[in-house]
Amino acid sequence: MPTPRPTYDLVIAANRLPVDKVVGDDGEVEWRRSPGGLVTAMESVMRSQPGAWVGWAGDAGEAPEPFDEDGIHLHPVPLSAEEVRDYYEGFSNDTLWPIYHDVIVPATFHREWWSSYQAVNQRFAEAVAEVAAEGATVWVQDYQLQLVPTLLRKLRPDVRIGWFNHIPFPPVELFAQLPWRAQLLEGLLGADFLGFQRQADARNFVRACRQLLGAQTKRDRVTVEGSRRQVRAAAIPISVDFQGLEELAKRPDVMARAREIRASLGDPEVLMLGVDRLDYTKGIRHRLKAYEELLSERRIGPPEVTLVQVATPSRERVDAYRLLRGEIEQTVGRINGELGKIGAPAVHYLHHSYPREEMAALFQAADVMLVTPLRDGMNLVAKEYVTCRHDLGGALVLSEFTGAWHELHQAFACNPHDIEGLKQTILRAINTPAKDKQRIMKALRRRVSDHDVQRWAARYLAALAAAPELPQPEPRN
């Protein structure tokens, strides 16, 4: 008889596994843990309770066999090249992503993409059902897997199911555009507990259920039609590994690198920094426009002031991202061409991704961190910046349209659509006296250290465990 596969009391399902494939010179395949808040948080949770992670390994075609890595059982789900195109780049990133981010660019609707999304969600649900132990806790992540809760409940009514949305949940007026809006809501209502970044996101979800499904709702609860089950929707904002990142930022080599970065930029009086995935939600164009105007009005200028913009490559096969990259690179070229000086460009634009050490050094080198999204579920960069500023230096300019702003009120708040206002805020962030900035930074750091990613995971799992409903016995006649 074949030995039965092991099963786990805690199962995470996310689009990606937390590892990247590395092929050595000898052709040997190795898996390297991809750094990220979710993995770090899970490590702390899985130390006390062994767990499994179900997700795509990153290459189209056949999936590798399940394997264990650093105490986590990894269970790869295969995606074909067509599914990467239709489920991932298509439905997830070109249908849902724009709708969930205020339609900054128009959403694209294709019925084939939806079919692919359904098929992949079914496959994830089956994979989870296979590895989950009797009565396990299953934590589904993000907008790519919104049908999994109900599909899984059908396969495994014994498990407890949570879902967390890393991105915003849109107002019903925007969500209603989706031709598959009812199926998405019904997919989510298979969960016991739904977690969101902001209270407004949770409220948007509850309102969508009321208006689009005619569901009964009361405060943060939705009653599922045809059963007596209640689903709770509430805000549990994500965070960063404060302790781990602060330790990294305190390393002498990282601090030396921060000084080296400043020196190689000509030791400017004010170094401004932007770090984003190259995404239209991040407000990079608005930031560059404000900066360009400040330069052309001669209110600031190189070499005294300079801007480093790291734009990490992202979703390069989706049209809107290709277009955005072209626009940003043209703008950077124009700003440098018109307003830069020999040896002192106005913008240092970097379209790469960097190791964590380099990011921590950049954060420490920057006097002003520009976080100006038009819409962002949380924005971890804002929290990482303050975590790295153990010297209490620096100033955070933060858009009101990020989840982070709801926790980091002391930051220099901005509305990135208001270019004049954004310019004023940047100038304020530069000119506020150092001791006031230190006081602000201290308060920001306290918030993040008290609410780190480990606490986020613990709070989420406690809320899931306490979710209102274990299936209630039917009343007897």
Q: Name the residue nearer to ligand GDG (CB basis): 15 or 217.
A: 15
d(CA 54, CA 338): 50
d(CA 447, CA 408): 7
- DSSP output for 280-304: GGG-HHHHHHHHHHHHHTTSS-TTT
> Edge-to-edge, what's the strand order for the sheet holding 395-399?
347-350, 305-312, 270-277, 368-371, 395-399, 412-414
Cα torsion through 451, 455, 460, 463, rounded to 10: -90
- Identify the three-state secondary structure at position 86: helix
Closest CA to 455 of 312, 241, 230, 278: 241
Closest CA to 104 of 311, 423, 373: 373
Q: Residues 359, 149: contact at Cβ < 8 Å?
A: no
Residues numbered 283-312 forming contacts with ligand GDG, rule: CB under 6 A: 310, 312
User: What does DSSP say about strands 230-235 and 221-223: parallel, antiparallel, or unpaired?
Assistant: antiparallel
User: What is the smallest separation between the CB atom of 339 and ligand GDG, expressed in angstroms?
Assistant: 26
Contact residue for ligand GDG among 379, 399, 425, 454 (CB under 6 A): 379
User: What is the smallest separation between the CB atom of 415 and ligand GDG, expressed in angstroms?
Assistant: 18
User: What is the smallest separation between the CB atom of 310 and ligand GDG, expressed in angstroms?
Assistant: 6
Cα torsion through 131, 133, 138, 140, rounded to 10: 10
445 touches ligand GDG (CB under 6 A): no
User: What is the smallest separation between the CB atom of 455 and ligand GDG, expressed in angstroms?
Assistant: 15
Query: Please, where are the H alpha helices in 297-355?
Result: 319-339
86 touches ligand GDG (CB under 6 A): no
Taking residue 74's Cβ as centre, other Cβ atoms within 10 Å add up to: 20
d(CA 432, CA 416): 20
Strand (E) or helix (H) holding 193: strand 193-196
238 touches ligand GDG (CB under 6 A): yes
User: What is the smallest separation between the CB atom of 35 and ligand GDG, expressed in angstroms?
Assistant: 6
Residue range at the interface with ligand GDG (CB under 6 A); choices 111-119, 155-163, 318-326, 375-383: 375-383
166 touches ligand GDG (CB under 6 A): yes
241 touches ligand GDG (CB under 6 A): no
Binding mask 244-283 for ligand GDG (x = CB under 6 A): -------------------------------x-x------
Residue range at the interface with ligand GDG (CB under 6 A); choices 74-82, 117-125, 379-387, 411-419: 379-387
384 touches ligand GDG (CB under 6 A): yes
User: What is the smallest separation between the CB atom of 236 and ligand GDG, expressed in angstroms?
Assistant: 11
Residue range at the interface with ligand GDG (CB under 6 A); choices 153-161, 210-218, 242-250, 380-388: 380-388
DSSP bridge partners of 13: 54, 140
Q: Name the residue nearer to ligand GDG (CB basis): 292 or 407.
A: 407
33 touches ligand GDG (CB under 6 A): no
Contact residue for ligand GDG among 115, 296, 353, 431 (CB under 6 A): 353
| DSSP-assigned letter for residue 4 | P
376 touches ligand GDG (CB under 6 A): yes
381 touches ligand GDG (CB under 6 A): yes
167 touches ligand GDG (CB under 6 A): yes
Contact residue for ligand GDG among 39, 278, 320, 378 (CB under 6 A): 378
359 touches ligand GDG (CB under 6 A): yes
User: What does DSSP say about strands 193-196 and 230-235: parallel, antiparallel, or unpaired?
Assistant: parallel
Amino acid at 109: F
Binding mask 312-331 for ligand GDG (x = CB under 6 A): x-------------------
354 touches ligand GDG (CB under 6 A): yes
The residues binding ligand GDG (CB under 6 A) are 166-167, 238, 275, 277, 310, 312, 353-356, 359, 376-381, 384
